[in-house]
Structure 1
Amino acid sequence: MDHVPAVVLGLCSYTHDSAAALLVDGELVGFVEEERLSQKKHTHEYPHHAVEWLLGEAGLTPADVDAVAYNFQPVRYLAEAPTALRLALSGTTRDRALPRAAGFAKVALRTRRRVQSLGRRFPGAQVSPVLHHRAHQLTAFAASGWDESAVLVVDSLGERQTTTIAHGHHAGRPATRTLEAIHDPASLGYVYGAVTEHLGWRRGDEEGTVMALAALGDPTRFRHLFARAVRTTATGFALDPAYFPPRVLTSGYPRTSRRFVVETCPPRRPDEPIQEVHQDLAAALQERTEQVMLHMARRARLLTGSRRLCLGGGVATNCVSVGRIIEAGIFDEVFVPPAPGDAGTALGAAVAVHTDSGNGRPLCGVARACYLGPSYPEPNLDLTPWPGLQQKTLDIEVAEFLADQLAHGMIVGLFQGRVEAGPRALGNRSILASPLEPGVVERLNASVKFREPFRPFAPMVLADRAREFFTLGQDAPYMSMASGVTNKAREHIPAIVHANGTSRLQTINPTQNPFVHDVLRAFARRTGVPVLINTSLNVKGKPICGTPDMALDCLANSGLDALLLEGRWITK
């Protein structure tokens, strides 16, 4: 670069989960997913709301941006075209060879055009495409705050890579060095998405529903099929194209084969009832995912020699797999950043460009940070559009008041402070409920979230009392790890225990979220239990509520009893 960029804008845009992050002299101004502001879930549009907020927060204009970091490198797609043609040598994959080569070439050109369009939006900036997996690696490693660790990224596809093992090290600034990479068509994310779609849910959105369904099934029926279809190797894994044909980056090419359908079940329509075969298929898929993730974690330990592991990529949101890795004791500690999926690569790309630029300023504000989006500390609430709602300002101890309402069985939305990064509600855009209330899970699923009855709800717990109820043995600040539970949890709070005997927990300490910590302590004084149910402030199919208006809509159109919005108590 001709000059050292002071203002670096990181972008995830035009694919899915658009997001933006802004670094000014190495200091993180903020990070936010576009869906939290636009109300369009998984939007692929240019994140103009997010960028506008970030620049406004820093007092800058588009002309002040020195560098734009984009989370894909167009040229890397082109390398797949000649490799794809080799598929013509096999009868199983012959029909995919030409369309696959053409698809990757087409995406390379499309990505190049996207990079050029960003250049037009920021004419004074140099646009730097960043290798997708490198962006994932740096998101995870920089957020960990560690000096060194193994870094394992597993997703569906980044250019050609689907799985990478890297070593992260911090010599004044975070850096990662990739030691091994697995390329498409060997992709764990591709398989999970394909089976999610086969089972009647939206690929790229509802894999978590399939993970929850898996707990109700028996993996035995399809265990051997998945062992053949997703085969482990000495250095990784490979897919059998007889079950999962190679990806073609244009629509109209099914991700599962006729043989897969014959040996499992016909595709389920979203409106069809869930049968035992669907549960068993989900269970076998989840079991194989966990086995492959464990295999890759052991490989990362072997290659890096590190006692710590950072996980990134979409498959890192599979909290049961993360829990299995922790339980296996391969590493002393495992870290998953709050935004391990593609949205988070906006931040990783910005970190990459800052690191490469020669800017001497150290990175600041990224490590162990999750509340990174907009806040609305004193919203001017006009409830006219919601005639059924009424508000009052609380002039009492708010944490004590909220704990009291929860202890009496109310289900309350909580909107406070800055929007969380990533897919989980971490106490700033949450729906809270008492785990002691009879029928609370059924009520939450049926009338508040409007989602499948088998979906579990996650607990938040005081960090210093987590061991009384959970066996994880390490902090879980971002609700990204499934933990086993103790007999005390089974006895006193069965509502937070899923059918597989685990809970996706969040541990809360006083520095991380002081208000929620106070609420948990107050709730524990009333009930003896320092645990609350915590789910995201939204209903199924809608993004987490990033703005007051979105939160008021959620209250008005769901079974929520009340909303605590920056000290205002809003009821129907």
Structure 2
Amino acid sequence: MDHTPTVILGLCSYTHDSSTALLVDGELVGFVEEERLSEDKHTKAFPQHAVDWLLKEAGLTPGDVDAVAYNFHPAHYLVESSASLRLALSATTRERTLPRAHGFAKVGLRTQRRVGALGRLFPSARVVPVLHHRAHQLAAFSWSGWTESAVLVVDSLGERQTTTIAHGHNALRPRTRTLESLNDPASLGYVYGAVTEHLGWRRGDEEGTVMALAALGDPKRFRHLFARALRTTQSGFYVDPSYFPPRTLSSGYPRTSRRFLAETCPPRQSAEPVVEVHRDLAAALQERTEQVMLHLARRARLITGSRRLCAGGGVATNCVSIGRIIEAGIFDDVFVPPAPGDAGTAVGAAVAVHIDSGSQRPLSGIARSCYLGPSFENLPLDLTRWPGLRQKMLGIESAEFLADQLAHGMIVGLFQGRVEAGPRALGNRSILASPLEPGVVERLNATVKYREPFRPFAPMVLAERAGQFFTLGQEAPYMSMASGVTDTARERVPAIVHANGTSRLQTVTAAQNPFMHAVLTAFARRTGVPVLINTSLNVKGKPICGTPAMALDCLTGSGLDALLLEGRWITK
């Protein structure tokens, strides 16, 4: 009897960071963020390019999809809409009561309409809404490959939840059981986004810039303010509405109060210079975020009894907080998936539907994977659109050749194999440079990436030699953890050490990325240092280059010296 595959399409769509994952008979065919193919960073459009690629990859049509897993559940917004009426009981929050109730109801109905629209796009499929935090939990836990762990999800908002602690078990058919959850307005992601905006950067995009800026400030000036505004409780934390008024899900309602402005500084416009007060505000915000994340991690350890932690949600991209949790020794092992933010919920939602369908097929292809998007290995390359470029084919020794160019001070874009999942380039869509080159950080920021001069650059290191340079004490394959550095790192590669004495490192094994492992080995043979600077192949404001055309535009539009694109050495 013919076996018809169970085809589940996981979707993150219509909010931000649209993405798609495809499970066929429990096996992950692939996952990709729409921005990598559409060039629209953080796009909220339906991920058409991503869906088309995945279905083509699997030899399927939209009519073959059995189920569409959507990463939000409309009914839970409506629950919060009526619960918002409790805000009327306090003079501080009263004026937000009706706008908030209206906002949550509106978003709930809009989400319901989106679920209906997806049904029309995939006529043979049932569309299954999945609770947002459950999608985060299952993504983080499935990606870990572990049989059991605590799962901590911290983000801005999923329907009404902002923070959940769950217990995950069973690697082949993963389950997560939520033990505790916090609802909005207790939201760490909301507070971090509000201050990011106040400091003149884009909320939902540039929180990492604020985290980098924090290292240059003194948290003392605003420490007491954040201790009042973000108070820890036995099972979580509380946000003081007199500093951060409750969200309404509609524009026109500021996220910071007049009291916050009076006690900090006026909002910074993006073109204004960054001064001491901005650095200090960022430092206090970051310090308090780390304290709250540590508190939540300890809570997760206590109530799950687990010695391992998976962290997910947008706040899990705060690599310094994750580094602090590891440093504190609360868990034996900490794991952050390659796509901890909303994009990754496409994977988690698909896993949820697979589990709930009662399928006995074990999951495969997710655990410890990150190179999951399109590849362009055998594509003919026509450079007529870029008339100034020259190319030559490299042979089998391309890793040696690249290491040699890097050792001689070149800054090189690398485009090879399948697109990485998540916000960090992991050696397939990277810009590489030698950390030994004088002035390399200044040059990268000013002429290649076009971004703020205080932004640090992350190192990639041979996993087997990481201990010589970094104190993390565990592998960090997805560049999601900040580590302390050794004296050797300070002496040999100061360019990769940020002002707070940490580096957001990526450890590389031969099994994970054979080519990058070979490049690092060859570079170490020439220089004695198994470390390279690795930043994403893009310029500020653009997504990581997912297609050859995007990579060639990046080469011509930036200060890159060369691009190694699928075995071709391309120069200007």
How would you bin the TM-score normalised by the shorter chain? over 0.9
1:121-170 deviation digits (Å, cap 9, x = unpaired): 00100000000000000000000000000000000000000000000000
- Aligned counterpart, 2:245: 245
C-alpha displacement of 1:171: 6.4
Secondary structure of the corresponding residue to residue 543 of structure 2: coil
What secondary structure, in the 3-state scheme, does the structure 2 residue paired with 1:128 have? strand
**In the TM superposition, what is the alpha-carbon distance from 1:231 to its structure 2 partner?**
0.3
Match of 1:471 in 2: 471
Q: Secondary structure at the match of 2:301?
A: helix
Change (3 A) 1:172 1:365: closer
State whether residues 172 and 364 of structure 2, in contact with CA within 8 Å, keep that contact through their aligned partners in structure 1. no
**Structure 2: distance between partners of 1:362 and 1:126:** 21
In 1: Cα distance, 2:172 partner to 2:395 partner: 47
CA contact (8 A) 1:379 1:548 kept: no
Cα 1:5–1:133 change in 2 (3 A) is farther
2:29 matched residue in structure 1: 29
Q: Following the alignment from structure 1 to structure 2, what is the Cα–Cα distance between the partners of residues 495 and 172?
A: 42
1:277 is the counterpart of 2:277:
yes
1:6-39 deviation per Cα after TM superposition (whole angstroms, max 9, x unaligned): 0000000000000000000000000000000000
Aligned equivalents of 2:270, 2:544: Cα separation in 1? 23
- 1:97-246 to structure 2, matched below 5 A, reads 97-170=97-170, 172-246=172-246
Distance, in Å, in 1 between the alignment partners of 2:86 and 2:467 is 53
Equivalent AA in structure 2 for residue 442 of structure 1: E
Structure 1 residue 536 and structure 2 residue 539: aligned?
A: no
Query: SS in structure 1 opposite 2:222?
Result: helix
Q: CA deviation at 1:59?
A: 0.1
Could you list the per-position Cα deviations for residues 530-553 of structure 1 after superposition, in whole angstroms to 9, with x for gaps in the alignment? 000000000000000000000000
Structure 2 match to 1:553: 553
8 Å CA contact 1:72–1:159 kept in 2: the answer is: yes
Structure 2 CA distance for aligned equivalents of residues 172 and 375 of structure 1: 27
Where do 1:315-464 residues align within 5 Å? Answer: 315-464=315-464
How far apart, CA to CA, are the structure 2 residues paired with 1:291 and 1:4? 50
Q: Which amino acid aligns with 1:153?
A: V
- Structure 1 residues 379-405: Cα deviation after superposition (integer angstroms, max 9, x where no partner): 211111111111110125000000000
Q: Is the 8 A contact 1:217 1:280 kept in 2?
A: yes
Does the aligned pair in 1 maintain the 2:213–2:279 contact within 8 Å?
Answer: yes
SS at 1:241 equivalent = coil
Q: Which runs of 5+ in 1 are unaligned?
A: none
- Mapped to 1, the partners of 2:15 and 2:102 lie a distance apart of 19
SS of residue in 2 equivalent to 1:459: strand
Q: Partner residue of 1:67?
A: 67
1:266 is matched with 266
The CA RMSD over aligned residues, in Å, is 0.9
Deviations 1:191-250 (A, max 9, x none): 000000000000000000000000000000000000000000001000000000000100
State the SS of the aligned residue for 1:136.
helix
Report if the CA contact (8 A) 2:152-2:309 is conserved. yes
How far apart, CA to CA, are the structure 2 residues paired with 1:280 and 1:468?
A: 32
Q: Secondary structure at the match of 2:388?
A: coil
| Cα offset, 1:82, TM superposition | 2.0
Structure 1 residue 501: Cα displacement: 0.1
Q: Distance in 2 between matches of 1:394 and 1:5?
A: 41
**TM-score of the superposition, structure 1-length normalised?**
0.99
One-letter identity of the residue aligned with 1:377: E
Report the residue type matching 1:129 in the other structure. P
Letter of the 1:181 counterpart: S
In 1, the alpha carbon distance for the partners of 2:212 and 2:172 equals 41
Instruction: Tell me which amino acid in the other structure corresponds to 1:270.
Output: S
* Structure 1 residue 5 displacement after superposition: 7.2
In 2, distance between residues paired with 1:174 and 1:459? 33
CA–CA separation in structure 2 for the residues paired with 1:113 and 1:383: 44
Q: Please state how far the C-alpha of 1:172 moved relative to its aligned partner.
A: 4.1
Distance in structure 2 (CA, Å) of the matches to 1:123 and 1:540: 39
Q: Secondary structure at the match of 1:79?
A: helix
Give the match for residue 504 of structure 1. 504
Alignment-mate amino acid for residue 467 of structure 2: R
- Deviation beyond 6 Å, 4+ runs, structure 1: none
CA contact (8 A) 2:142 2:171 kept: no
1:299-358 Cα deviation digits (max 9, x unpaired): 000000000000000000000000000000000000000000000000000000001101
**Secondary structure of the structure 2 residue equivalent to 1:186:** coil
Q: Distance in 2 between matches of 1:565 and 1:5?
A: 35
What amino acid is the match of 1:66? D
CA distance in 2, matches of 1:110, 1:150: 33
Mapped to 2, the partners of 1:133 and 1:449 lie a distance apart of 34
2-side partners of 1:371 and 1:382: how far apart? 25
The AA in structure 2 aligned to 1:97 is T
Aligned residue pair count: 570
Give per-residue Cα distances to partners, 1:273-313, cap 9 Å, x unaligned. 00000000000000000000000000000000000000000
**2:368, 2:96 → 1: CA distance?**
44
Q: Which residue identity does 2:437 align to in structure 1?
A: E
1:305-320 matches, within 5 Å, as 305-320=305-320
- Is the Cα–Cα contact under 8 Å of residues 150 and 304 in structure 1 kept in the other structure? yes
CA distance in 1, matches of 2:179, 2:513: 37
Distance of aligned partners of 1:259 and 1:55 in 2 relative to their CA distance in 1, 3 Å threshold: same
